[in-house]
């Protein structure tokens, strides 16, 4: 089966302004300039010239007073995808993991994180690390390998020449621990300045031996 990439929740909203206004142009041009790709949450903006095909869809399901999280509804959404489109499960609350399993089984991708649920399938309070770990284990058990960052960019058909555009804007003076609630998984690792990557320090199992 195809590789699986995951993401955390970052939503972009578009003000209801006329086509051609500065806010609309910024919404359209910003991803191109930064080398990123927008995820379409519930609507198609291709006709307005704000998105280019192929599209990446985030199927938000199970939220109160929103579309139901069922295989019937998922099948309906999948039936409307066009060749080249990709999609990601965004299950809300108790639906996060069931929808993630369905996405893994049907060739989709998974968004997972504390914005959507704070509990593991067994009901225990979760950390982001534990939620991601669970999805990785399930994906591997179902025959899906986890995509590397480079492979995820290829799946999304993003320009590899833009790979360092975000890294260049990182502030190396910001302590990584101030952005992470649980540093336990990162013990023995050291942040590489100006990068999102970490390197093992002496004593870590992955530290190169002499």
Is there a domain that residue 210 lies in? no
| Integer Rg of the chain from CA | 19
Q: What is the pLDDT of residue 16?
A: 37
**Token couple for 129:** 């690390």
66 and 151 share one domain: yes
Quote the domain boundaries for residue 181: 170-200
pLDDT beyond 50 at 19: no
pLDDT above 70 covers what percent of the chain? 71
Structural domain total, the chain: 2
pLDDT beyond 50 at 42: no
Cα–Cα distance, 65 to 94 (Å, whole number): 15
pTM of this prediction exceeds 0.85: no
Q: What is the pLDDT of residue 197?
A: 74
186 and 90 share one domain: no
90 and 186 share one domain: no
Task: Write out pLDDT tens, residues 96-105.
Answer: 999 999 999 9
147 and 176 share one domain: no
Task: Write out pLDDT tens, residues 51-64.
Answer: 778 888 999 999 99
Is there a domain that residue 73 lies in? yes
Q: How confident is the model at residue 65 (pLDDT cuts 50, 70, 90)?
A: confident
Tokens 């023995």 correspond to 188
Q: How confident is the model at residue 109 (pLDDT cuts 50, 70, 90)?
A: very high
Cα 15–Cα 25–Cα 59 angle in degrees, nearest 5: 55
126 and 183 share one domain: no
Q: What is the pLDDT of residue 38?
A: 62
Please, are residues 36 and 160 in contact by the beta-carbon 8 Å criterion?
no
Q: What is the pLDDT of residue 9?
A: 40
94 and 125 share one domain: yes
Give Cα separations from 61 to 28, 94, 147, 151 (angstroms): 26, 11, 24, 26
Is there a domain that residue 209 lies in? no
**Of the given ranges (25-29, 132-136, 185-189), which has the lowest mean pLDDT?**
25-29
């Amino acid at each position: 089966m195809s590789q699986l990439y995951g993401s955390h929740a970052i939503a972009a909203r578009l003000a209801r302004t006329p086509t051609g206004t500065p806010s609309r142009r910024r919404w359209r041009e910003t991803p191109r300039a930064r080398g990123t790709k927008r995820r379409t949450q519930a609507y198609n903006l291709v006709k307005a010239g704000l998105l280019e095909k192929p599209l990446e869809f985030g199927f938000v399901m199970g939220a109160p007073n929103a579309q139901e999280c069922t295989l019937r509804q998922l099948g309906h959404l999948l039936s409307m995808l066009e060749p080249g489109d990709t999609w990601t499960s965004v299950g809300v609350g108790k639906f996060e993991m069931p929808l993630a399993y369905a996405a893994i089984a049907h060739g989709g991708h998974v968004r997972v994180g504390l914005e959507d649920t704070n509990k593991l399938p067994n009901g225990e309070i979760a950390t982001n690390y534990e939620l991601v770990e669970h999805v990785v284990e399930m994906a591997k058990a179902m025959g899906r390998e986890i995509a590397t960052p480079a492979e995820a960019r290829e799946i999304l058909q993003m320009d590899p020449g833009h790979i360092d555009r975000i890294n260049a804007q990182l502030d190396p003076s910001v302590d990584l621990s101030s952005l992470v609630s649980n540093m336990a998984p990162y013990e023995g690792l050291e942040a590489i300045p100006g990068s999102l990557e970490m390197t093992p320090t002496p004593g870590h199992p992955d530290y190169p031996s002499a």
